[in-house]
Structure formats: structure tokens, C-alpha cells
Amino acid sequence: MTPRVSRRAVLIGGVGGVLAACGGPAARTGPQPGAGTTEAAATRAAVRLPVALAVHPSRSPGLAASRAELEAVQSGGAGTWQGFRVVRGPGAVAAALADRNTAALVTADALVPGIAAVPVDGVDPLTAPDSYPVTAEVAASGGPGPVVTSLWTGDVMLGRRVGAGMARTGDWELPFSQTADRLAAAGLTVGNLECTLSKEGRATHGGDSFGADPRALAGVHRAGYDILTLGNNHLGDYGPTALVRTAAIARGEGFATTGAGEDIAAAREPALASAGGLRFGVLAFNAVGESPEAGAASPGVVWLRMPPITGPLAPADLEAVAQSVRAARGSADVLVVVPHWGREYSHRPVADQYTVGHTLIEAGADAVIGGHQHWVQPIEIYRGRPIVHGMGNFVFDMTFSEQVQQAVVVELVHWGTTLKAIRALPVRIGTGGVPRFLDPAGTEGRTILGPVWG
């Protein structure tokens, strides 16, 4: 295949190469723990920010306000809004998170991941602050800065019946025919490649060996993916040669990859890409076995042994992944870990998902966004940072239950290096494994989001 370059700058060469190219570690431009109050006060000035109504995310689908409604609440003329009790001032966001019948009236600097801002006159205060109709002057350390959105999808499986559909029609973009425009509109798009791009070995899982024609990457390009995570249980479906070849093909096509490689050092290298002036770093690991574990001189994927499949939680494995987080921290403004973990066909995380997720946040990850289970699982906010326990499938040919055909795409919204929101966008996977976005306020959209924010 003719190598192509991703639509956004992909930073190649590992941590050392990036540091050399960029002149050193990224400056953390958001408020830092321990910052001196005198210095912080000196940098604060009057800026205009959106005035937002915010609610618990389980209540947000379908909610919208008009400018007149918001201004009535803002002026104090209304103590309730659409049946919500309105709380103002310090503690308003916490009140809305604690009570799903409460709405917070705050300026956008108070919004945090886990609360949902309501659009006003169809404008989102976080993704379009300059177009938002109601603002207020507040003392802040700066305006929104660059607004950067990123989209994170579940498993992208381009083999088996999905691949047969592309080959039959000659349409190598078919799996993304209903989602490509929305995915490509994000500042950064990331997904887990749940198949090989080579069949240069023996199929190790019989009919469940997922091998794809490299021409299927045409659709991945059309959808605007920048980073493909490879730390999963199907990258080894055709043996070590095909595993290494898959990583090479993906990189040759302009995608950054992480989680697998010709040895453990290569597999642990973060995938790095730039979007909206931010440097994103992504790490990935596999906790469910099957693909070979990368070694000092042998190809494979990054392993982390944990329940329910690969044994009790292995402290040495967890520390190795945490050390990868600490090592990558200086090379990225935003650092995300993508685990392949958990129990299949369940909305409930296993207990050690919480242990592992918390450890990775404590090590310096800005978010943990997981998958493998084929069903959606909850989004947790830990120390102000999100842990997505399971996104479900994305491109996949499973049809034996409703749940395996239901998924979410996760959207992160950054103002500079500050994460302002995490959103779950419901998806239905249809005929031929082709996904489409759903209305969050529709019947199936609400069904899918129930376990996410429940």
C-alpha cells in the first residue's frame, strides 16, 4: 500500500525523539497542585466566560435551554428550571452531582468532568464558547484557550464478516460509511484495532481469528483516526510475524500505534500525536491474555495480569504500566491509558478494574479509557479524572444480543490542557458491523447510556 500521512501531525520517534523535536517536556499550562496563591492571584484578570446550566449527565439527554430561559434564571427571577431546583455559587456543581433533580448555574470555569452543560440556543458552552449567547465577566487565570475535542471508539474489527462485506462490495470504507464525518471532525480520533492486517501465520483461534485486508485502512483514514491501540487479545491471532507486520503496516499508513511491537520496549512506547496545539500521548495494555506477551527480544503485546482471566492482579505488571505512565508524562500535555480488560458480556466492572484505574490516575494519567467486554460499562470520575470501564464494540460483526450491538464513543473536551468534559455518545451497530450514532434522548440512546451514568 502507498504510505499516507495522517490528517494531523503524528509525532514519531518515541519519547526521546519527541523531546528533542519539541525542545523538552511539555509545559503544563493548567493550574498545578501546590501552586502559590500569590503567584496565582497575580495572573488572574477579568475575562468573559459562558454562563451555563449544568446537570448530572444521566439527566442531560434531550435537555436544552433558550437564552431567555437562562437569562431569567441568571437574573434571579426563576428558582427552578424545567423541574430542576437551581443552585448558584460555590458548591453548585457538587450539589448537581449529588442530586439529580438539581441544576447548577455557574460560569464555565466551574465545570468539571462528570457534569453535563446544557446547550443554550443550540450552542454548547464548552465546545463553542465564543459563540455562546450568555456570558459573564469573572476573575480567571485566562480564557478558554484552544478548545480541543477528541473521540475514542471501542473495538474496530475489520476481519471476518466485516471484511467479507468490504470485499464483496469493493467498498473498503464501508464500515465507517455512517460515522466517518463525525469522527473526522474531532481534533483527535483514537480506536482499538481488534484484528491483524496480515495472515502470515497459522490462525490461532480458528473462526475467531480476526485478520483483515490492509485495504480496509481506507475507511480508518476516512474516519480520521490518528492513533490505533494494539494492546489486545486478537493482535496475535496469526502469530508473531503477523503481529509485527500489522504494527508496521499501520505505522506505514501514518497511524501512531502503541501496546504492541517487536519487543517489550517497542510495545511500551506511547503513541504520540498533536491536535489543536496539544500533544496527546496514549499507552495501551492487554489484561485478557491470548496474544503473546512481548519480551526483551520477542514480539507481542503489553500484558497486565489481572482478574477475571489472566490470574490475580500482578503487582509487578501494574507497576510496569504505572512506570510507563510516569515515563511518558513529560512528553505529553494529555496522557491517556487504554486497557483491554474485564469480563465479557457484563455491564459490571470487576473489582480490580477500579484498583488498576486508580493506580494509573495516581501515576499521572489524565484519563483511562477501556474496552474488551463487548458491552458498555460505567464511567467513573476519580480525583477529577475519568475512568471509562468499557465502551463496548464499535465496528464488529457480533449480532447474538442487543448489548453487543450497542456501544458508546467517548468525547473528551479540553480547554488547553484542562479537561472540561467527558461525554458518552450512544452508538448502534447495524448490518455488516457498520455503526451509526444515535440520538442520546431517543429510546435506545437512553437505554445504552443507562449503565454508563447509572
> Residue 7: is it exposed, middle or buried by C-beta count within 10 angstroms (0-12/13-18/19+)?
middle
In a domain, 29, yes or no: no
Q: How far is Cα of residue 134 from the mean position of the Cα atoms in its chain? A: 30
Q: What is the pLDDT of residue 78?
A: 73
Q: What is the pLDDT of residue 2?
A: 44
The enclosing H or E element of 167 equals: helix 160-169
- Integer Cα distance of 253 and 148 in angstroms: 24
> Residue 255 belongs to a domain with what CATH number?
3.60.21.10
In a domain, 37, yes or no: no
Judge whether residue 24 has pLDDT over 70: no
Which three cell numbers, joined as nine digits, stand for 108?
464555565
> Residue 125: is it exposed, middle or buried by C-beta count within 10 angstroms (0-12/13-18/19+)?
buried
In a domain, 38, yes or no: no
In a domain, 384, yes or no: yes
Q: What is the pLDDT of residue 235?
A: 97
- Integer Cα distance of 270 and 10 in angstroms: 12
- Integer Cα distance of 86 and 68 in angstroms: 16
Which three cell numbers, joined as nine digits, stand for 292?
503473546
- 296 and 402 housed in the same domain: yes
First to last CA, the chain: 45
pLDDT tens-digit map of 146-165: 999 999 999 999 999 999 99
pLDDT tens-digit map of 241-295: 999 999 999 999 999 999 999 999 999 999 999 999 999 999 999 999 999 999 9
Domain range for 129: 45-140
pLDDT tens-digit map of 160-184: 999 999 999 999 999 999 999 999 9
Burial track 139-167 (b if 16+ CB lie within 10 A, e otherwise): ebbeebbebbbbbbbbbbbbbbebbebbe
Number of domains in the chain: 2
Domain edge (last residue) among 95, 114, 140: 140
Domain edge (last residue) among 88, 117, 140: 140
E-assigned strand segments in 352-444: 367-369, 376-382, 385-391, 393-395, 406-415, 418-429, 435-437
Confidence class for position 77, pLDDT limits 50, 70, 90 = confident
- 153 and 130 housed in the same domain: no
Judge whether residue 15 has pLDDT over 80: no
Q: What is the pLDDT of residue 139?
A: 84
- 81 and 178 housed in the same domain: no
Average pLDDT (344-369) is 98
pLDDT tens-digit map of 87-120: 998 899 999 999 999 999 999 999 999 999 999 9
Is 381 in contact with 114 (CB distance < 8 Å)? yes
In a domain, 377, yes or no: yes
- Integer Cα distance of 256 and 198 in angstroms: 18
- 60 and 124 housed in the same domain: yes
- 388 and 362 housed in the same domain: yes
Determine what percent of the chain is predicted with pLDDT higher than 90.
Answer: 85
User: Under 8 Å CB-to-CB from 225, ≥6 apart: which residues?
Assistant: 6, 183, 189, 190, 191, 255
Judge whether residue 43 has pLDDT over 60: no
189: nearest Cα among 172, 200, 176: 176
- 152 and 136 housed in the same domain: no
In a domain, 2, yes or no: no
84: nearest Cα among 63, 66, 61: 63
- Integer Cα distance of 224 and 184 in angstroms: 4
Q: What is the pLDDT of residue 8?
A: 62
Amino acid at residue number 408:
V
Burial track 280-304 (b if 16+ CB lie within 10 A, e otherwise): bbbbbbbbbbbbbbbeeeebbbbbb
Q: What is the pLDDT of residue 187?
A: 98
3-state class of 145 per DSSP? coil
Judge whether residue 413 has pLDDT over 80: yes
- 253 and 114 housed in the same domain: no
Is 222 in contact with 173 (CB distance < 8 Å)? yes
- 311 and 395 housed in the same domain: yes
In a domain, 70, yes or no: yes
- 135 and 155 housed in the same domain: no
In a domain, 391, yes or no: yes
- 205 and 320 housed in the same domain: yes
Determine what percent of the chain is predicted with pLDDT higher than 70.
Answer: 90
- 130 and 219 housed in the same domain: no
Domain edge (last residue) among 140, 163, 184: 140
Judge whether residue 372 has pLDDT over 90: yes
Helix 351-363 vs helix 315-328: crossing angle, to nearest 10? 30
Amino acid at residue number 77:
G
User: Under 8 Å CB-to-CB from 27, ≥6 apart: which residues?
Assistant: none
pLDDT tens-digit map of 199-229: 999 998 888 899 999 999 999 999 999 999 9
The answer to whether the predicted template modeling score (pTM) of the entire model surpasses 0.75 is yes
Average pLDDT (27-42) is 38
pLDDT tens-digit map of 296-345: 999 999 999 999 999 999 999 999 999 999 999 999 999 999 999 999 99
- 167 and 252 housed in the same domain: yes
Backbone torsions φ then ψ of 280, nearest 5 degrees: -95, 135
